[in-house]
Amino acid sequence: MGKADEYQFDYLEDNYRFADQVNGALFQGRQIVKPDELEPAEAQSVYLGKEAGVRENFKTIVDKTRMWKGRMIHVLAVENQTYVDYHMILRNMLSESLSYQRQWKHKKAAHERKHDLKAGTDEFFSGMVKDEKFIPIITLVVYCGTEHPWDGARCLYDLLELKDEMKKFVTNYRLNLYDCHEHDTFDEYHTGLRQLFEVVRYARDKEKLQRIMQENKGAYSRMDSDTRELLEVVAKVRIGEEYGIMENGEKKYDMCKAFVDMRLEGKQEERQEHLVKTVCIKLRKNKSAEIIADELEEELSEIEKVIEAQRLVGNYDVKQICMAMVK
């Protein structure tokens, strides 16, 4: 389990957030699942495959699982990275099958202890009585990739090369997938999950994100520590300790101010890169620092800093020169 997954795992430990995730993703914000109705449940087995670098193909990942009114709800926070898992359908199918198989083993073991199944009968052979039922398992896959929307399969049919009359005999399997990139608003969420999905969704549209922050300034200027950590790891948004404030004995963070400062820093970096690029062009024309400073209407000391960094790097790579100037 990666670092981002660990943070999301801890975040959903809270029953209010767990219920908020389920209600927002599956019920469009309707408060169907109540936090006080959730009960602990054992961790589910998730198929990782040989590519995960483990000896066996199965490994228990501590994703977040809860019991709700006789149903098992399993939230699998997917990777939170730039890659889409194109075999997620198979992972989910196998994980749920393993969970049902485990339920059956428990039932079979209970009957063996009681010796209540008559030998030579269907029930004895099955390891369970005819009317016994299993706990339904509902798996929700939450995708928070920051690079692009989910473009993988959403059902088993999407993975199959099967277009003839035999298709109707192949059982389909559908993924319960929540991808924030497919939504424009997140009013259905009432915890910090709303801020997480808004930031991931509009990470590349800074103007839109800033408007959202202003419209919901109360939440963004008084962000709790857990949501701040989740945003830093999942959405790669840094909210430093300098933006922290104490409020009623609890540490809160002002992301609105942090975002404004980040944008200013970004503009300064853009300006520096433009200056370095321009100076490099003139250096290749063998122009002196004094002439470059005069032509660009910049302080001579600033031009000399760029030239010194360029000589240190030994080439005209703008990124490397900018990094050398910081050191």
Pairing of strands 64-68, 71-78: antiparallel
Q: CB-based contacts of 117: which residues, under 8 Å, 6+ apart?
A: 111, 123, 124, 127, 129
pLDDT at 4: 52
pLDDT at 268: 64
Pull the structure tokens for residue 34: 């109540």
How far lies 15's CA from each of 37, 64, 65, 150, in Å?
9, 10, 11, 27
Q: What's CA 310's distance to the chain center, in Å?
A: 39
pLDDT at 100: 92
How far lies 282's CA from each of 54, 286, 292, 299, in Å?
54, 7, 7, 16
Q: Which residues of 86-104 are buried (b: 16+ CB within 10 A; e: fewer)?
A: eebbbbbbbbbebbeeebe
Pull the structure tokens for residue 138: 């509902």
Q: Are 273 and 318 in contact (CB under 8 A)?
A: yes
Q: CB-based contacts of 71: which residues, under 8 Å, 6+ apart?
A: 135, 136, 137, 138
For 64, the enclosing helix (H) or strand (E) is strand 64-68
Q: What is the pLDDT of residues 267-276, one digit of tens each?
A: 566 677 778 8
Rounded to the nearest integer, the mean pLDDT of the chain is 84
pLDDT at 47: 52
Residues 230, 217, 257, 252, CA torsion sign: negative
**How far is residue 31's CA from residue 246's CA, in Å, rounded to a whole number?**
31
pTM of the model: 0.73
| pLDDT less than 50: residues of the chain | 1-2, 51-62, 79-82, 264
**How far is residue 21's CA from residue 11's CA, in Å, rounded to a whole number?**
11
